[in-house]
Amino acid sequence: MSKQLRIGIIGSGGIARAHAEAYGQLDNLVIAAVADIIPGKAAEFIAQTGLAEAQAFDDHRKLLELDLDAVSICTPNVAHYQTTIDALRAGKQVMLEKPMSVTLDEAVHMTQVAKETGAMLNIGYQPRYDPNTVLVRDLVQSGQLGKIYYVETGGGRRRGMPQGTFIRKDLAGAGAVVDIGTYSLDMALNALGFPKPLSVSAYSSNHFGTNPLYHPQASAFEVEDFGVAMIRFENDIVMNFKISWAMHMDTLGATMFLGTDAGLKITPAGTGPWSGVFDGRVGSITLYHDIQKHNTHSEIPLIDHKLNLFHEKVRDFVQAVRENGPAPIPGEQIVRSQAILDGFLRSAELKREVEIHIPEL
């Protein structure tokens, strides 16, 4: 019988509920503490979610003084950095919500502290647990496409702008690019084996978020609702990345990998104004190739499954905690995505291409 794990949750908003529910599916585990910076909010969360054994805190540092095996960090993006550093230094294994951070410096430092302390830093990208995302990665890595030279990823919601902490620069750091762009970027980079990004030329805007016609909190909207970038990687790969929370268009296209021998197209699943971006499930996978010089395409049958991807990511993390690592989705990998997001924000502000330099980890 494995030992009972003691888990803490830092940040008790929307996604913390999904964490609590996913932990609740697992045996030999107790949520022992919840912290939220808003006084009384953690206690309210504990009462509402029926976490009978959990203590409530208004300061995450007090929670970290407890004897806990691991913590889930579910704060808005800007608070990811300090809470993660404090948790790692307190010797807790960390499940951190996406995006890892806002700036590259933060992501690098978080990874270094994980290495230094030996505590695990795992970033929670549940789409990685979709068997069809795994299939995409395996197809790309099989070599069937030949030399991959161009990738297009991202997508667009016709109307799907969040509210609250997501639209404030001091809390979210940025908008659609770090919120939903990070998923399609992760899918593409993971399939490519995380090549090193070299430069990015980006554009962003917020014509919808700041317009009261489209957003109920338009006067408080401080981040981008649309972004597009050309990213150069080592090995002569370029990527066209685009993302929108709102637009007057049905789609910004699929994810595509163009190779010298074949091409692969992946469409996102889902319908309706909040869909159109890859944020969990794959809609279709098509391989474009020639047979006897004939242009041909093959629909790759999707793997039918009933997995709850969020539960899978928490289950995998807990297993890694029990086995004392390694992190299923380690900071070292995600630093490369964060370098792109950081470059994106710098380039969009400067309105020119910027170089990306990732320090030694």
Longest dimension (CA), the chain: 68
Q: Indicate the helix (H) or strand (E) that contains 256.
A: strand 255-259
35 binds ligand NAD (CB under 6 A): yes
Question: Which residue number, 180 or 354, has a Cβ lying nearer to ligand NAD?
Answer: 180
SS3 56: strand
Instruction: Closer to ligand NAD by CB, 153 or 201: give it.
Output: 153
Stretch that binds ligand NAD, among 13-21, 100-108, 248-256, 295-303 (CB under 6 A): 13-21
Work out how close the CB of 149 gets to ligand NAD at its nearest, in angstroms, rounded to a whole number. 31
Nearer to ligand NAD, 166 or 233 (CB): 166
Q: 152: how many CB neighbours lie within 10 A of its CB?
A: 20
- β pairing state of 294-300 and 29-35: unpaired
Distances (CA, A) of 266 to 23, 39, 44, 80, 300: 31, 44, 42, 31, 10
Per CB under 6 A, 97 contacts ligand NAD: yes
Sole binder of ligand NAD in the list 8, 76, 195, 343 (CB under 6 A) = 76
**Which residues 172-231 are close enough to bind ligand NAD by CB under 6 A?**
179
From the list 68, 95, 76, the residue with the least C-alpha distance to 311 is 95
CB 96 → ligand NAD: shortest distance, Å? 9
Question: Pick from 282, 331, 357: which is nearest to 88 by CA?
Answer: 331
Burial group, residue 181, by CB count within 10 angstroms (0-12, 13-18, 19+): buried
Contact between 41 and ligand NAD (CB under 6 A)? Answer: yes
Selected range binding ligand NAD among 74-82, 130-138, 225-233, 352-360, rule: CB under 6 A = 74-82
Interacting residue with ligand NAD among 70, 120, 124, 237 (CB under 6 A): 124
What is the distance between the alpha carbons of residues 139 and 187, in angstroms, rounded to a whole number?
13
Contact range with ligand NAD by CB under 6 A, out of 36-44, 141-149, 231-239, 319-327: 36-44
DSSP one-letter code for 2: P
Q: What token pair was written down for 342?
A: 């950081």
The residues binding ligand NAD (CB under 6 A) are 10-16, 35-38, 41, 60, 74-77, 79, 83, 97-98, 124, 126, 164-165, 179
